[in-house]
Amino acid sequence: MTSKLARFLMCTVFALSVAALAQNAQLPAAPSAAANNAAAPVSNATGTKVGTINVEQAIFATNEGQRDFETLSKKLEPKQTELKGQNDEVEALKKQLNTQGEKLNDDSRATLVKQIEQKQKSLERQVQDARDDAQSQQNEIAQRILQKMGPMLVKYAADNGYGVLIDTSNPWPNGPVMWSGPAVDITKPVVDLYNAQSGVAAPVRPATPRPTTPSATKPAPKAPATTQPK
């Protein structure tokens, strides 16, 4: 996705067995107990393989995630522009104080300083509020996708013989994995499976125009080398 006001940080580091993940996965309510039992993922998996998945990356990589985060980014652009305008205003006042401060009388200088302080504090509050709001909306999107991805992930792991899945969203030492090879990473197949089941089409990206070189323009001939007299 393009610009973001706040980087999405999801603290869902897990090193859970498939059985535990199945028990914790939140499933949509079914109309009957029989249907619920049929839809529930396998919770007594006997697989022995260890797999890794970058949950944060998987959420962002889904077609649904790309679509919703891009929509959110565009929704937040007006606020971002507004905050930038206020920041520019504060910086202009600071520049005025630096360049004209010595020429102002005490009252005028004190008024300008107070104005800068008030605008600076107001801007800081608004930036923090905007950051919190952006992160809250990002988390809502992520949790909605994760809720649907969880049961699907459990079934994929059980069907493919995995007994343990470890989230690599946070790199070591903040995360549980010091190193892992690509052979055990199931992020891409899980994303592909999610996209297939969600039915959300891949976002269309505008084509980047290729630079064109005028065909009639030819490089200028090199000047002949001259021989210096000895």
Asked whether residue 230 is domain-assigned, the answer is no
Q: Tell me, what DSSP letter sits at residue 173?
A: T
For residue 199, the one-letter residue type is G
pTM: 0.68
What's the CA gap between 12 and 167, in Å, rounded? 8
Contacts of 120 (CB under 8 A, 6+ apart): 90
pLDDT of the residue at 101:
78
Which residue, among 57, 79, 81, 78, has the nearest Cα to 8 in the 3D structure? Answer: 57
pLDDT higher than threshold 60 for residue 216: no
Dihedral sign (CA 90, 91, 94, 95): negative
Asked whether residue 225 is domain-assigned, the answer is no
More confident residue, 206 or 219: 206
Asked whether residue 80 is domain-assigned, the answer is yes
More confident residue, 163 or 14: 163
Asked whether residue 24 is domain-assigned, the answer is yes
What's the CA gap between 1 and 184, in Å, rounded? 26
pLDDT of the residue at 210:
57
**Based on the structure, what is the number of domains in the chain?**
1
What's the CA gap between 46 and 108, in Å, rounded? 77
Asked whether residue 106 is domain-assigned, the answer is yes
- The residue range of the domain holding 99 is 15-198
pLDDT digits (tens, 9 = 90+) for 118-161: 999 999 999 999 999 999 999 999 999 999 999 999 999 999 99
- For 30, the token pair is 């079914």
Asked whether residue 180 is domain-assigned, the answer is yes
Tell me the average pLDDT of the chain: 78
